[in-house]
């Protein structure tokens, strides 16, 4: 049977399963028409009953249209799958023992059943050289449908009468040529038991198979001389993988004196390689190996192989000269004769045979799974390439082939008998998709790359040697050339020389040659252009990856450095934080102590007041009918101020509530002279108001919130130094009237930290000095002229003294504003006496003992419709507000209460422009004054001087002292004097 030459195979076609049956032939139709067949395929025709009842003999389906010739260019990339159909009838022929033993029948040809195959029909028809049609026996079907399967795309289909040589030419010859050209090759025979795998691979002496024919080809080339083939030696190794009674897989070396072996990775340790120098040696070796192979008789095969047999032929250069003259050839040609899958029902295996069948079928299944996984992985790279090869020794050994790294060729052997339909169908269904498997050219590239690298190394070594030789030679001959060569040599970096030396040392290992034979190496290998391009690409990619790795490494190093720096910073910050926390703890502790100290000053006992030389609460009660002047501290809640109910009025007693840290001192008796003026007409208060006017009042404003009061004399130099050590920065300001203020010494501590430094809180600095913290000052005045005077005086002193807050609670108009202001601000208590206040007419309250008036109160003022709106309007400058307000008041002849609560630096600062407009322009009259606690100092003074708080008294009786109170007050004052004298001493 002639087939067109299989120069290439066609693409695999879809296998159609259960195609519709053919239409009933018309009587006129002599032969089936393919077109009618196709139409029948597409149509649905009822199956004729008479045809079933009288079935025609099974007919081979008409040949399908020839598929286009397979591509020749890409065929090398695909897995080649050949199909060989065993003859349906095998004539019994004796098989001689290759080793010279007694002839032994082989296979079914020797079976007694062989004669029964005469009238058997085939289930497999060859359509063409690349496709077959498999048809089932109608009797085996369900009597309704004819089943035929077309398998297409084989590299070649060998019909039943194909000869071994034909098979060899198509299948094995290309592999042998590749092998002798330096490529690895693998031919695997697959098929059911008795299908002719062993016959195809090994054959018999009269009809040799692929291996003997390959050996013949190899050694036919090797007989020549001067060609690459004759310069190679070949080594043959055989082993089988078998399972003894199901106790796992074992490897047996089939070479003479072969033993059991083991598989490590993909290498069989201890496998003997027998060098074959001629064909006879090789055939003899193969025959002896075949005799050692495990075989057994089954119902399917008289001599069925019970193991997977693998034969390796490895090539190697005969000598070093051959290695130098020809490219290295370490290729291996592998032939694998797998044991055929068996069906228990057909083989009738039992016991050990059955266990062998399980092993054989399992190996076949694993082998198929590996190829299936490879195919699906190539179809969809997202699908992983399963490691099925691990499940058997055979697939582990053939791992590289089963992962597509090396080329492999399959030859399927089938039996065409009707009874073999199931086995054949199973095999074709399983193996036909393998035709789509593609092999990459990694193996070739790797081999060529290694060759190229070796060649490059040799070239470099040769170049280096030549340079050395040239240098030595020229050193003797031509001095000028020596310089040139020396320069050339110098141009070679030391590194390059070292690398060349290293390569030189590696060369013997790579080429397996002795160092002595390295001289005069000349390599004349011409690489394929495409391979060269591929190598360049790989080289470039390597370079890119190397640079990327270097850059990444540098970045990582930088990040590591930054991380270390950050960790160090974090450590430093933690240390600083610990220190700060310790400081905060100390400060908190100090604050706690200070608070406790303050609380001590809030509620001192009488003994503490008079026994302590540095600390006492101070309260000045202006003698005579006057309003209260309170200096309060916002952070002390004991300091009292006047609320709405106790809005000072004329005749009320002005009190200065000193918060904590006020040293009781006699000199503070003059402190109310800030803005107090008593009604001299009030004879009841004359005595109380009689204070020591000659006693100079000296006080210091430690900062804008602190007033420092000192006795007459200024601090000593030692005290000054001590204060400076404490952080004081004092500025002296002389404030006051020419006459009245000459004795007033105001000092300001410009540094706000001074107060935080405990300046005012440390009375031990100077026992004669008192530090007063002022947060809130309320000045209650009774006439607008006083207010005016206040403004004038404050403006005059604004560049010198800082006050925190000044609240003018009440104003009344006075004609002699300046005088009144001076008196109110700076007059001594005795000035209160006997002064006639002529604003009573304006007030219309003759019963008021003092001309200071605080009527109406803040709420009244706020709600009074008589208040000119200008009062509530914003005022640009603080120094303008009060005179204007005063003027307004004078014009409107009302007595407003202006509550000017400003921030510390808004009023009376060095620069009047700093006065904030809104702080003054928004009178606090809208705010309801809060009732505050009576100052502790007032309580104390009341306790010892018998002075009741004015706020607790009716307005009419305020400022008037009864005899007991006056006595107690005088007594307490004398006690203060006594204390002061003690302190001074
Ligand atoms: N193409 C063929 N031409 C002539 N005889 C053949 C052919 N193929 C197989 N035979 C014969 O068929 C018998 C069985 O063949 P073989 O032993 O090679 O089958 P097998 O596939 O190796 O079976 P197993 O897997 O059981 O080893 C042998 O006697 C062999 O001579």
CA of 525 to the centre of ligand 1 (A): 45
Same domain, 433 and 455: no
Q: Is the pLDDT of residue 876 over 60?
A: no
CA of 413 to the centre of ligand 1 (A): 9
More confident position, 627 or 358: 358
Q: Which of 107, 389, 117 is nearest to 266 (CA)?
A: 389
- With cut-offs at 50, 70 and 90, classify the pLDDT of residue 553: very high
Q: Is the pLDDT of residue 728 over 70?
A: no
Q: What is the pLDDT of residue 310?
A: 92
Average pLDDT of the residues in 398-403: 87
Q: Is the pLDDT of residue 903 over 80?
A: no
β-bridge mates for residue 621, sequence order:
655
Q: What is the pLDDT of residue 836?
A: 41
Q: Using a 6 Å cutoff on CB, does residue 848 contact ligand 1?
A: no
Average pLDDT of the residues in 854-860: 39
Q: Using a 6 Å cutoff on CB, does residue 170 contact ligand 1?
A: no
Average pLDDT of the residues in 766-772: 38
Tens of pLDDT, residues 56-75: 444 444 443 344 344 444 44
* Residues in contact with 908: Cβ distance below 8 Å, sequence separation at least 6, in sequence order: 794, 795, 797, 798, 801, 802, 803, 806, 878
Same domain, 228 and 283: yes
Of 486, 505, 527, which residue constitutes the final position of a domain? 527
Q: What is the pLDDT of residue 259?
A: 85
Q: Which of 166, 196, 207, 309 best tests ligand 1's pocket when mutated (most atoms within 8 Å of CB)?
A: 196
Q: Using a 6 Å cutoff on CB, does residue 78 contact ligand 1?
A: no
Q: 296-300, 301-305, 866-870, 948-952 — which is least confidently predicted?
A: 866-870
The number of domains in the chain is 3
Q: Is 424 annotated as contributing to ligand binding?
A: no
Q: Using a 6 Å cutoff on CB, does residue 108 contact ligand 1?
A: yes
Domain span at residue 866 reads 613-984
CA dihedral 662, 665, 667, 672 (to 10 degrees): 50
* Residues in contact with 155: Cβ distance below 8 Å, sequence separation at least 6, in sequence order: 6, 9, 70, 75, 80, 81, 82, 130, 170, 171, 409, 435
Nearest CA to ligand 1 atom 2: 86
The top-scoring range by mean pLDDT among 90-94, 97-101, 391-395, 527-531 is: 391-395
How far apart are alpha carbons 647 and 930 in whole angstroms?
Answer: 11
CA of 95 to the centre of ligand 1 (A): 12
* Cβ 866 vs Cβ 894: under 8 Å: yes
| Residue with token string 């899958």 | 341
How far apart are alpha carbons 447 and 453 in whole angstroms?
Answer: 10
Q: Is the pLDDT of residue 571 over 90?
A: yes
Q: Specify if 20 maps to a domain.
A: no
Task: Say how many CA atoms lie within 13 Å of 981 toward its Cβ.
Answer: 5
Same domain, 491 and 460: yes
Q: Is the pLDDT of residue 625 over 80?
A: no
Q: Which of 105, 165, 166, 194 best tests ligand 1's pocket when mutated (most atoms within 8 Å of CB)?
A: 194
* Residues in contact with 593: Cβ distance below 8 Å, sequence separation at least 6, in sequence order: none
Q: What is the pLDDT of residue 950?
A: 47
Q: Specify if 857 maps to a domain.
A: yes
Q: What is the pLDDT of residue 322?
A: 62
CA of 197 to the centre of ligand 1 (A): 6
Q: Which of 199, 240, 416 best tests ligand 1's pocket when mutated (most atoms within 8 Å of CB)?
A: 199
Q: Is the pLDDT of residue 744 over 80?
A: no
* Ligand 1 atom nearest 305 alpha carbon: 27
Q: Is the pLDDT of residue 297 over 90?
A: no
- Phi, psi (degrees; rounded to nearest 5) at 944: -95, -30
Same domain, 371 and 481: no
Q: What is the pLDDT of residue 410?
A: 92
Q: Specify if 174 maps to a domain.
A: yes
More confident position, 35 or 324: 324
Q: Specify if 842 maps to a domain.
A: yes
Same domain, 486 and 413: no
- With cut-offs at 50, 70 and 90, classify the pLDDT of residue 776: very low
Tens of pLDDT, residues 408-419: 899 999 988 888
Q: Specify if 604 maps to a domain.
A: no
* Ligand 1 atom nearest 110 alpha carbon: 29
More confident position, 261 or 524: 261
Same domain, 801 and 665: yes
Q: Specify if 542 maps to a domain.
A: no
Q: Using a 6 Å cutoff on CB, does residue 160 contact ligand 1?
A: no
Q: What is the average pLDDT score of the chain?
A: 60
Average pLDDT of the residues in 905-922: 41
Q: Is the pLDDT of residue 858 over 60?
A: no
Nearest CA to ligand 1 atom 8: 196
Q: Is 197 annotated as contributing to ligand binding?
A: yes
Q: Is 191 annotated as contributing to ligand binding?
A: yes
Q: Using a 6 Å cutoff on CB, does residue 625 contact ligand 1?
A: no
* Residues in contact with 698: Cβ distance below 8 Å, sequence separation at least 6, in sequence order: 667, 709, 710, 711, 712, 714, 743, 744, 745
Average pLDDT of the residues in 678-703: 40
How far apart are alpha carbons 466 and 483 in whole angstroms?
Answer: 16
Same domain, 417 and 452: no
* Ligand 1 atom nearest 339 alpha carbon: 25
More confident position, 144 or 237: 237
- Phi, psi (degrees; rounded to nearest 5) at 357: -60, -40
Nearest CA to ligand 1 atom 16: 196
Average pLDDT of the residues in 197-206: 88
Q: Is the pLDDT of residue 538 over 60?
A: yes
Same domain, 731 and 838: yes
How far apart are alpha carbons 876 and 589 in whole angstroms?
Answer: 44
* Cβ 708 vs Cβ 771: under 8 Å: yes
Q: Using a 6 Å cutoff on CB, does residue 295 contact ligand 1?
A: no
Of 393, 416, 440, which residue constitutes the final position of a domain? 440
Same domain, 294 and 329: yes
Q: Is the pLDDT of residue 54 over 80?
A: no
Q: Is the pLDDT of residue 342 over 60?
A: yes
Average pLDDT of the residues in 167-172: 92
Q: Using a 6 Å cutoff on CB, does residue 839 contact ligand 1?
A: no
Q: Is 195 annotated as contributing to ligand binding?
A: yes
Q: Which pair of tokens denotes residue 8?
A: 């290439």
* Ligand 1 atom nearest 195 alpha carbon: 21
Q: Is the pLDDT of residue 217 over 60?
A: yes
Q: Is 351 annotated as contributing to ligand binding?
A: no
β-bridge mates for residue 708, sequence order:
700, 771
* Ligand 1 atom nearest 340 alpha carbon: 25
Of 440, 467, 501, which residue constitutes the final position of a domain? 440
Q: What is the pLDDT of residue 142?
A: 58
Q: Using a 6 Å cutoff on CB, does residue 106 contact ligand 1?
A: yes
Q: What is the pLDDT of residue 631?
A: 40
* Ligand 1 atom nearest 338 alpha carbon: 25
Cβ atoms within 10 Å of 637's Cβ, excluding its own: 12
Q: What is the pLDDT of residue 23?
A: 44
Q: Which pair of tokens denotes residue 119?
A: 């009238």
More confident position, 53 or 503: 503
How far apart are alpha carbons 871 and 882 in whole angstroms?
Answer: 10
Average pLDDT of the residues in 134-144: 66
Percent of the chain with pLDDT over 90: 9
Tens of pLDDT, residues 578-612: 999 999 999 999 998 888 876 544 444 444 444 44
Q: Using a 6 Å cutoff on CB, does residue 199 contact ligand 1?
A: yes
| Residue with token string 């009842």 | 53
- With cut-offs at 50, 70 and 90, classify the pLDDT of residue 324: low
* Ligand 1 atom nearest 304 alpha carbon: 26
Q: Which pair of tokens denotes residue 418?
A: 């009707």
Strands of 64-110, DSSP E: 80-85
- With cut-offs at 50, 70 and 90, classify the pLDDT of residue 193: confident
Which contiguous run of DSSP H or E holds residue 237? strand 232-243
Distance of CA 120 to the CA centre of its chain: 73
How far apart are alpha carbons 793 and 799 in whole angstroms?
Answer: 11
Cα angle, residue 371 at apex, residues 368 and 374 outer, rounded to 5°: 150
SS3 string, 714-753, reads CCCHHHHHHHHHCCCCEEEEECCCCCCCCCCEEEEECCCH
Average pLDDT of the residues in 288-298: 83
Omega cis (within 30) before 856? yes
Which contiguous run of DSSP H or E holds residue 847? none
How far apart are alpha carbons 479 and 469 in whole angstroms?
Answer: 15
Strands of 301-452, DSSP E: 304-305, 308-317, 332-337, 409-414
Q: Is the pLDDT of residue 164 over 60?
A: yes
Q: What is the pLDDT of residue 317?
A: 74
Same domain, 305 and 432: yes
Q: Secondary structure of the chain: what % helix, strand, coil (to 5)?
A: 45, 15, 40
Same domain, 368 and 253: yes
Q: Using a 6 Å cutoff on CB, does residue 301 contact ligand 1?
A: yes
Q: Specify if 163 maps to a domain.
A: yes
Average pLDDT of the residues in 148-158: 89
Q: Using a 6 Å cutoff on CB, does residue 763 contact ligand 1?
A: no
Q: Using a 6 Å cutoff on CB, does residue 197 contact ligand 1?
A: yes
Q: What is the pLDDT of residue 555?
A: 92
Backbone CA torsion sign across 656, 660, 664, 665: negative
* Ligand 1 atom nearest 301 alpha carbon: 26
How far apart are alpha carbons 793 and 787 in whole angstroms?
Answer: 10
Q: Using a 6 Å cutoff on CB, does residue 736 contact ligand 1?
A: no
Nearest CA to ligand 1 atom 9: 196
Q: Is 193 annotated as contributing to ligand binding?
A: yes
Nearest CA to ligand 1 atom 6: 196
Q: What is the pLDDT of residue 172?
A: 92
Q: Is 844 annotated as contributing to ligand binding?
A: no
CATH code for position 317: 3.40.850.10
Same domain, 885 and 778: yes
Nearest CA to ligand 1 atom 15: 196
More confident position, 818 or 620: 818
Average pLDDT of the residues in 259-282: 86
Q: Is the pLDDT of residue 574 over 70?
A: yes
CA of 120 to the centre of ligand 1 (A): 18
Tens of pLDDT, residues 812-856: 333 444 454 444 444 444 443 444 444 444 444 444 433 333 333
Q: Specify if 115 maps to a domain.
A: yes
Q: Using a 6 Å cutoff on CB, does residue 307 contact ligand 1?
A: no
Q: Using a 6 Å cutoff on CB, does residue 195 contact ligand 1?
A: yes
């Amino acid at each position: 049977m002639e087939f067109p030459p299989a120069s290439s195979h066609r693409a695999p076609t879809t296998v159609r399963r259960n195609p519709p049956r053919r239409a009933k032939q018309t009587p006129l139709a002599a032969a089936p028409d393919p077109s009618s067949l196709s139409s029948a395929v597409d149509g649905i025709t009822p199956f004729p009953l008479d045809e079933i009842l009288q079935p025609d003999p099974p007919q081979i389906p008409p040949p399908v249209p020839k598929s286009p010739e397979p591509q020749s260019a890409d065929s090398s990339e695909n897995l080649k799958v050949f199909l060989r159909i065993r003859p349906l009838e095998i004539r019994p022929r004796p098989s001689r023992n290759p080793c010279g033993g007694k002839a032994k029948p082989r296979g079914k040809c020797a079976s007694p059943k062989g004669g029964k195959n005469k009238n058997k029909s085939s289930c497999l028809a060859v359509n063409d050289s690349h496709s077959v049609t498999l048809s089932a026996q109608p009797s085996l079907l369900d009597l309704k449908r004819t089943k035929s399967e077309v398998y297409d795309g084989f590299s070649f289909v060998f019909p039943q009468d194909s000869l071994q040589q034909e098979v060899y030419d198509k299948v094995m010859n290309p592999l042998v040529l590749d092998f002798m050209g330096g490529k690895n090759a693998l031919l695997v025979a697959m098929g059911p038991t008795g299908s002719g795998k062993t016959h195809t691979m090994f054959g018999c002496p009269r009809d040799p198979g692929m291996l003997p024919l390959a050996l013949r080809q190899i050694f036919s080339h090797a007989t020549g001389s001067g060609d690459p083939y004759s310069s190679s030696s070949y080594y043959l190794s055989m082993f089988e993988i078998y399972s003894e009674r199901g106790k796992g897989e074992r490897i047996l070396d089939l070479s003479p004196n072969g033993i059991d072996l083991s598989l490590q990775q993909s290498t069989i340790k201890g496998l003997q390689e027998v060098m074959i120098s001629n064909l006879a040696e090789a055939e003899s070796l193969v025959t002896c190996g075949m005799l050692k192979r495990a075989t057994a008789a089954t119902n399917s095969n008289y001599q069925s192989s019970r193991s997977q047999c693998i034969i390796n032929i490895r090539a190697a250069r005969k000598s070093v000269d051959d290695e130098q003259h020809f490219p290295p050839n370490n290729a291996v040609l592998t032939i694998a004769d797998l044991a055929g899958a068996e069906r228990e029902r057909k083989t009738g295996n039992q016991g050990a045979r059955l266990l062998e069948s399980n092993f054989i079928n399992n190996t076949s299944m694993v082998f198929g799974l590996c190829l299936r996984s490879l195919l699906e992985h190539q179809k969809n790279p997202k699908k992983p390439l399963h490691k099925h090869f691990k499940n058997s020794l055979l697939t582990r050994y053939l791992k590289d082939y089963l992962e597509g790294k090396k080329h492999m060729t399959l030859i399927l052997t089938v039996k065409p008998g009707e009874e073999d339909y199931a086995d054949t169908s199973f095999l074709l269904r399983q193996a036909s998709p393998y035709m789509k498997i593609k092999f990459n050219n990694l193996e070739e590239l790797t081999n060529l790359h290694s060759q190229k690298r070796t060649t490059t190394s040799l070239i470099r070594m040769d170049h280096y040697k030549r340079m050395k030789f040239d240098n030595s030679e020229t050193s003797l001959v031509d001095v000028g050339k020596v310089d040139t060569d020396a320069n050339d040599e110098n141009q070679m970096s030391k590194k390059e020389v070292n690398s060349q030396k290293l390569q030189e040392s590696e060369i013997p290992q790579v080429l397996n040659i002795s160092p002595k034979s390295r001289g005069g190496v000349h390599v004349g290998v011409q690489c394929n252009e495409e391979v060269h391009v591929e190598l360049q690409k790989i080289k470039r990619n390597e370079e890119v990856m190397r640079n990327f790795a270097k850059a990444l490494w540098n970045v990582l190093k930088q990040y590591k450095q930054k991380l270390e720096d950050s960790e160090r910073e974090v450590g430093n910050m933690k240390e600083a934080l610990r220190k700060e926390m310790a400081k905060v703890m100390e400060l908190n502790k100090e604050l706690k102590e200070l608070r406790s100290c303050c609380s001590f000053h809030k509620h001192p006992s009488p003994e503490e007041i008079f026994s302590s030389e540095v600390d006492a609460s101070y309260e000045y009660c202006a003698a005579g009918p006057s309003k209260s002047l309170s200096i309060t501290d916002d952070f002390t809640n004991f300091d009292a101020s006047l609320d709405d109910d106790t809005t000072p009025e004329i005749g009320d007693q002005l009190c200065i509530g000193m918060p904590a840290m006020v040293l009781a001192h006699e000199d503070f008796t003059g402190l109310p002279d800030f803005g107090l003026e008593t009604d001299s007409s009030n004879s009841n208060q004359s005595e109380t108001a009689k204070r020591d006017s000659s006693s100079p009042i000296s006080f210091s404003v430690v900062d804008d919130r602190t007033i420092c009061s000192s006795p007459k004399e200024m601090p000593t130099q030692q005290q000054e130094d001590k204060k400076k050590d404490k952080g004081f920065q004092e500025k002296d300001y002389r404030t006051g009237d020419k006459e009245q203020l000459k004795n007033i010494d105001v000092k300001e501590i410009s540094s706000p930290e001074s107060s935080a430094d405990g300046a005012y809180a440390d009375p031990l600095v100077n026992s004669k000095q008192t530090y007063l913290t002022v947060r809130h000052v309320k000045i209650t005045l009774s006439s607008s002229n006083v207010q005016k005077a206040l403004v004038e005086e404050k403006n005059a002193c604004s560049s010198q003294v800082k006050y925190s807050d000044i609240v003018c609670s009440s104003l009344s108009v006075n004609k002699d504003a300046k005088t009144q202001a001076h008196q109110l601000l700076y007059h001594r208590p005795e000035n209160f006496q006997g002064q006639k206040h002529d604003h009573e007419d304006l007030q219309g309250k003759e019963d008021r003992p003092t001309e200071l008036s605080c009527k109406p109160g803040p709420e009244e003022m706020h709600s009074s419709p008589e208040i000119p709106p200008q009062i509530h309007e914003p005022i640009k400058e603080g120094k303008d507000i009060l005179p204007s307000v005063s003027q307004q008041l004078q014009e409107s002849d009302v007595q407003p209460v202006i509550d000017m609560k400003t921030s510390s630096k808004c009023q009376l600062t060095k620069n009047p422009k700093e006065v904030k407009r809104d702080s003054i322009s928004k009178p606090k009259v809208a705010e309801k004054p809060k009732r505050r606690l009576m100052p502790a100092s007032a309580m104390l003074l009341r306790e010892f001087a018998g002075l009741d708080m004015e706020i607790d008294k009716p307005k009419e009786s305020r400022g008037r002292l009864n005899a007991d109170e006056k006595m107690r007050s005088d007594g307490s004052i004398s006690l203060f004097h006594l204390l002061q004298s003690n302190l001074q001493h």
